């Protein structure tokens, strides 16, 4: 069994979904791939785009399931099975409409919170015991009918804050893999602008 960390970013494939709020997970793994200078390839057996990287002496698989959000578990289950990955080495990044844009929240485990991508992964792994990093995308009102909102693109006025969020979340992933989840949660969870910028 190789010592590999799997970072899964959730989203929907296709140009029409690029840069949408629901694809915040894709944006994060793309940020990490750029930071770690990792190239993407299409892996048909995993129904995923996958990038292999090394950082601080550790190996990483970055994954963008290409199944569409609600079937993300098919890709994640296939990768976990193939690489024989323990759940403690898996982190899933998702958008969260119940958190405001600018806030991130890493947890060791937990419920899907109604997120269909997480539900699919929990089903395929038969467990909720994997880390999930929620990236706040906010919502304009309290309605549960938010499909149009989450499938909408980030506004230009949000781009600066979004970039800060992705940088902060990328740092949190690096801390999670290096110093552990407790340190990553205590150091980075919360609202980006109010966090101490010192590392």
pTM confidence score? 0.93
Q: Sorting pLDDT into bands at 50, 70 and 90, what band is 143?
A: low
Q: Sorting pLDDT into bands at 50, 70 and 90, what band is 199?
A: very low
**Mean pLDDT, the chain, integer:** 92
**What's the per-residue H, E or C state across the chain?**
CCCEEEEEECCCCCHHHCCEHHHHHHHHHHHHHHHCCCCEEEEHHHCEEEEEEEECCEEEEEEEECCCHHHHHHHHHHHHHHHCCCHHHEEEEEEECCCCCCEEEEECCCCCCCCHHHHHHHHHHCCCCCEEEEEECCCCCCCCCCHHHHCCECCHHHHHHHHHHHHHHHHHHHHHHHHCHHHHHHHHCEEHHHCCCCC
Q: What is the pLDDT of residues 100-119, one digit of tens each?
A: 999 999 999 998 888 999 99
What's the confidence (pLDDT) of residue 140?
65
Q: What is the pLDDT of residues 41-57, one digit of tens each?
A: 999 999 999 999 999 99
Q: What is the domain partition of the chain in residue ranges?
A: 4-194
Does 4-194 carry CATH code 3.40.50.1470? yes
pLDDT value at 166 more than 80:
yes
Q: Which residues are designated catalytic?
A: 22
């Amino acid at each position: 069994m190789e010592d590999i960390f799997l970072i899964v970013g959730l989203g929907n494939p296709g140009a029409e979904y690029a840069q949408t709020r629901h694809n915040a997970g894709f944006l994060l793994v793309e940020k990490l791939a750029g930071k770690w200078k990792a190239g993407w390839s299409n892996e048909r057996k995993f129904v995923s785009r996958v990038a292999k990287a090394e950082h601080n002496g550790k190996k990483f698989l970055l994954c963008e399931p290409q199944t569409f959000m609600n079937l993300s578990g098919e890709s994640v289950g296939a990768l976990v099975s193939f690489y024989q990955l323990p759940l403690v080495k898996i982190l899933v990044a998702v958008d969260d409409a119940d958190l405001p844009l600018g806030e991130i929240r890493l947890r060791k485990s937990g419920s899907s919170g109604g997120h269909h991508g997480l539900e699919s992964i929990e089903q395929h792994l038969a467990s909720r015991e994997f880390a999930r990093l929620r990236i706040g995308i906010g919502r304009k009102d309290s309605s549960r009918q938010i499909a149009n909102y989450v499938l909408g693109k980030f506004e230009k006025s949000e781009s600066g804050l979004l970039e800060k969020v992705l940088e902060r979340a990328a740092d949190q992933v690096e801390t999670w893999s290096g110093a552990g989840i407790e340190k990553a949660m205590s150091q980075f969870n919360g609202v980006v602008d109010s966090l101490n910028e010192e590392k």
